[in-house]
Chain A
Amino acid sequence: MSKGAILPLRLADVSFAAGGRTIIDRVSLEIETGPSTIILGANGAGKSVLMRLMHGLLSPSSGRIDWNSPERPGVPRKQAMVFQRPVMLRRSAYANVAYALKIAGIPEPQRGVLVHESLESVGLSHLGRRSARVLSGGEQQRLALARAWALHPEVLFLDEPTASLDPSATREIESVIKAFDAAGTKVVMATHNLGQARRLGDEILFIDKGRLVERAPVEQFFSKPQSAQAAAFIKGELPWT
């Protein structure tokens, strides 16, 4: 654990309610460096809300969320998030990545190299000048990954990043994620896709109806699920909440 590292992240008895409904119900967990973590669950289980709570886009209704070293305003974030649908500015692909660096306070002369590296790492160097919003869905999502990666975050959150993509685009995204994981970034990804969870995850956090029901290394989770809900989910029998 280096100085200023933001991991581990601790959630203590975190709940989140909205519109009279409890969406996250007293979740306690710790996210540490190292293995890629998959947040697995059915649609509506609360994965996206949990991700947003961890990333700081939502505040918990009760409980605490603590990083190892707290975020300070004015200091570039050491965590980034890729959403299900990429949101790009009306500028070139290059400019979109450069924007993230600008917000982080990287001076202009240094940005060029970083942008090129990022685009290269996701295989989009040839599309740098293209208008970001006219790229295909898969290309935009790769661009979102490049943008998230440009600052070499300690934690990379991904909220169902391939849910809107076709199989070949999905494969491309997955290989980029694997590469980032191999490079040392902590990957925390939400998905409801069992195959994807198996391919990319080292450990599974299984969420059902806003509760953390089970946590296990990936192979153990799939071969010997401990909870009834996990078992049902793996078998594809979990009812809609």
Chain B
Amino acid sequence: MLEALSAALALLAGLDSKLVEIVLLSLRVSLSAVAIAALFGLPLGAAIAVGRFPGRQTVIVFLNALMGLPPVVVGLLVYLLLSRAGPLGALGILFTPSAMVFAQSILILPIVAALSRQAIEDAWREYEEQLRSLGARRLNAALTLLWDTRFSLLTTILAGFGRAAAEVGAVMIVGGNIDGVTRVMTTTIALETSKGDLPLALGLGMILIAIVIAVNAAAYLTKELAQRRYG
């Protein structure tokens, strides 16, 4: 175990090119996915937070439940969608990074929507009277709240990114773990471990943990600084 660890550190220190390629691809995929999830999820969360419509409570419960979607199930469903035999087969994006982005976007969209819904609804409770007094209507209020809760929302987005970067089930199935094309940190760790080849797996594992820690630290610091500066 110790020699595997030191071999791992050597790979990291030497910035092994394969390692760098894998890390960069992982970041590209998960960052793209979280960007898409935010694009759709934040407005969705805001709309549900300030909206009033029949079945609203059911929608909220459903959205919260979707946060727990198992990645491997998402992977399976997206595979069936993108397979040549499936409805979106003509897009031809199966086994490419685009498919991985697609799957991860679906995976973290509920997280972004549900958490932003919560944050914005809490803010709405505080602001509703004042905003209505000023004559703001729901659409305006939703946009105002989206900006006003921006620091909480940033934390939400970071949470989504963390989940995407750490998952293996979805990207394995829709990406195919193709060497040099769709191999990311998590799928490489799975592969190398199954081969009994630990140094690369350990090295990537350490990077992944470092990324997760960094993301959480960033979320914490954001909250702290925002509180101090803006109150």
Binding site for B on A (CB under 8 A): 52, 55, 57, 73, 76-77, 80-81, 83, 87, 89-91, 99-100, 103-104, 131-134, 147
Q: Is B126 an interface residue (CB 8 A)?
A: yes
Nearest 7 interchain pairs by C-beta: A133-B231, A87-B130, A134-B231, A90-B230, A77-B135, A81-B133, A131-B230
- Taken together as a complex, chains A and B put the C-alpha atoms of A133 and B140 apart, in Å, by 21
Q: What 0/1 readout, one digit per residue, does chain B (97-135) give for beta carbons within 8 Å of chain A?
A: 000000000000000000000000000001101101111
A57, A83, A103, A132 interface centre (most CB from chain B within 10 Å): A103
Determine if B144 and A73 form an interchain contact, defined as CB atoms under 8 angstroms apart.
no
A136 CB to closest chain B CB (Å) equals 11
Complex contacts, A132 vs chain B, CB 8 Å = 231
B74 CB to closest chain A CB (Å) equals 35
Chain A binding surface, main DSSP class:
mixed
Cβ-defined partner of A55 (8 Å) among B133, B136, B148, B151: B133
Q: Who on chain A is nearest to B127 by CB?
A: A87
Cβ-defined partner of B229 (8 Å) among A52, A89, A103, A131: A131
- Taken together as a complex, chains A and B put the C-alpha atoms of A147 and B137 apart, in Å, by 18
B127, B129, B130, B147 interface centre (most CB from chain A within 10 Å): B130
Chain B binding surface, main DSSP class:
helix
Complex contacts, B150 vs chain A, CB 8 Å = 90
Determine if A83 and B230 form an interchain contact, defined as CB atoms under 8 angstroms apart.
no
- Taken together as a complex, chains A and B put the C-alpha atoms of A12 and B118 apart, in Å, by 40
| With A90-B148, A131-B230: A57-B137 Cβ-Cβ less than 8 Å | no
| With A83-B129, A83-B130: A90-B136 Cβ-Cβ less than 8 Å | no
Cβ-defined partner of A87 (8 Å) among B126, B135, B136, B226: B126
Complex contacts, A103 vs chain B, CB 8 Å = 134-136, 140
Q: Who on chain B is nearest to A147 by CB?
A: B134
Complex contacts, B136 vs chain A, CB 8 Å = 103
Complex contacts, A81 vs chain B, CB 8 Å = 133
Determine if A57 and B229 form an interchain contact, defined as CB atoms under 8 angstroms apart.
no
A197 CB to closest chain B CB (Å) equals 23
Complex contacts, A133 vs chain B, CB 8 Å = 230-231
- Taken together as a complex, chains A and B put the C-alpha atoms of A134 and B148 apart, in Å, by 15
Can you give 18 A-B contacts (C-beta < 8 A)?
A57-B133, A77-B133, A77-B134, A80-B133, A81-B133, A83-B130, A87-B126, A89-B127, A89-B144, A90-B147, A90-B226, A103-B134, A103-B135, A104-B135, A131-B230, A131-B231, A134-B230, A134-B231
Complex contacts, B140 vs chain A, CB 8 Å = 103
Q: Who on chain A is nearest to B130 by CB?
A: A87
Q: Who on chain B is nearest to A73 by CB?
A: B137
Determine if B148 and A100 form an interchain contact, defined as CB atoms under 8 angstroms apart.
no
- Taken together as a complex, chains A and B put the C-alpha atoms of A150 and B93 apart, in Å, by 55
Complex contacts, A52 vs chain B, CB 8 Å = 129
B61 CB to closest chain A CB (Å) equals 25
B183 CB to closest chain A CB (Å) equals 42
Near A by CB (< 8 A), chain B positions 179-231 give 226, 229-231
- Taken together as a complex, chains A and B put the C-alpha atoms of A73 and B130 apart, in Å, by 17
B154 CB to closest chain A CB (Å) equals 12
B130 CB to closest chain A CB (Å) equals 4
Q: Who on chain B is nearest to A52 by CB?
A: B129
A57, A89, A134 interface centre (most CB from chain B within 10 Å): A89
B104 CB to closest chain A CB (Å) equals 30
A27 CB to closest chain B CB (Å) equals 21
- Taken together as a complex, chains A and B put the C-alpha atoms of A130 and B126 apart, in Å, by 21
